[in-house]
Amino acid sequence: MNASPFSCLLAAACLLPVPALAGPPGAHVHGAARLQVAVDGSTLNLQLETPLASLVGFEHAPRTAQQKQALQAMADRLRQANEIFTPTPAARCTLVSVELESPLLQPSPPAGGDGHADLDGSFVFRCDDAAALRDLEVGLFASFPKLRRLDVQVAGPRGQSAARLSPQQRRVSW
Ligand SMILES: [Zn+2]
């Protein structure tokens, strides 16, 4: 088994500075991820940035069939974004696009680097009644149990806000 959030802190290969609990924007923290929520007209835009360790538990090029399968299953799951992200039902939002980017999702993942790898996901919903859009329930924790914390930033019609989600607190409101 690989990298619990804490084993990384001890591993010699883990050379990134270890941020305090509230890391700076862009911090790569195993077990955590960041989500930017933007409401723009009828469009709900979600940008996920996460260490792969927070999703599949490793960040190196897959070495076994099981690891390849884990990456594939992760990507398949995220592409079903309408089952992971639930905007306010009254807003009647439908998923229109999903884009996933990660070095490990390329046909031949690059070796080397600093041993860390992220996944960036872009999820776009179109909403029939965007004025009713008031919150978002995030189901990432159920699908990815290694994820323990999600720092959310919202840019909505009434300004910006931030929230920290967890397996116990899965809904962000604005
Ligand atoms: Zn990492």
Residue 65: alpha-carbon gap to chain centroid:
24
Ranges of each domain in the chain: 5-10+31-173
- 54's CB contacts (< 8 A; 6+ apart) are 30, 31, 32, 33, 144, 146, 147
Q: Which two tokens mark 102?
A: 């990660």
DSSP string, the chain: ----HHHHHH-TT--S----SSPPTT---TTEEEEEEEEETTEEEEEEEEEGGGTTS--SPP-SHHHHHHHHHHHHHHH-HHHHEEE-GGG-EEEEEEEEE-GGGSSSPPP-TTS--EEEEEEEEEETTGGG--EEEE-HHHH-TT--EEEEEEEETTEEEEEEEBTTB-EEE-
The Å distance, Cα 14 to ligand 1 centre, comes to 7
The Å distance, Cα 19 to ligand 1 centre, comes to 13
The Å distance, Cα 170 to ligand 1 centre, comes to 23
At 50-99, the pLDDT tens digits run 999 999 999 998 999 999 999 999 999 999 999 999 999 999 999 999 99
Between these two residues, 112 and 36, which has the higher pLDDT value? Answer: 36
pLDDT of residue 107: 79
Q: Is the pLDDT of residue 139 over 50?
A: yes
CB contact at 8 A, 142 and 86: no
pLDDT of residue 166: 98
Q: Is the pLDDT of residue 43 over 80?
A: yes
The fraction of the chain above a pLDDT of 90, given in percent, is 75
The Å distance, Cα 129 to ligand 1 centre, comes to 39
Report which listed range, 3-12, 13-22, 25-34, is most confident.
Answer: 25-34
At 140-171, the pLDDT tens digits run 999 999 999 999 999 998 899 999 999 999 99
Between these two residues, 118 and 10, which has the higher pLDDT value? Answer: 118
CB contact at 8 A, 13 and 115: yes
pLDDT of residue 106: 85
Nearest to 120 by CA among 105, 130, 108: 105
The Å distance, Cα 31 to ligand 1 centre, comes to 9
pLDDT bucket at 27, cuts 50 / 70 / 90:
confident
Strand partners, 173: 135
The environment of the single-atom ion ligand 1, i.e. residues with CB closer than 5 A, is 51, 53, 59, 116
The Å distance, Cα 58 to ligand 1 centre, comes to 8
The Å distance, Cα 165 to ligand 1 centre, comes to 20
CB contact at 8 A, 104 and 71: yes
pLDDT bucket at 114, cuts 50 / 70 / 90:
confident
pLDDT of residue 26: 62
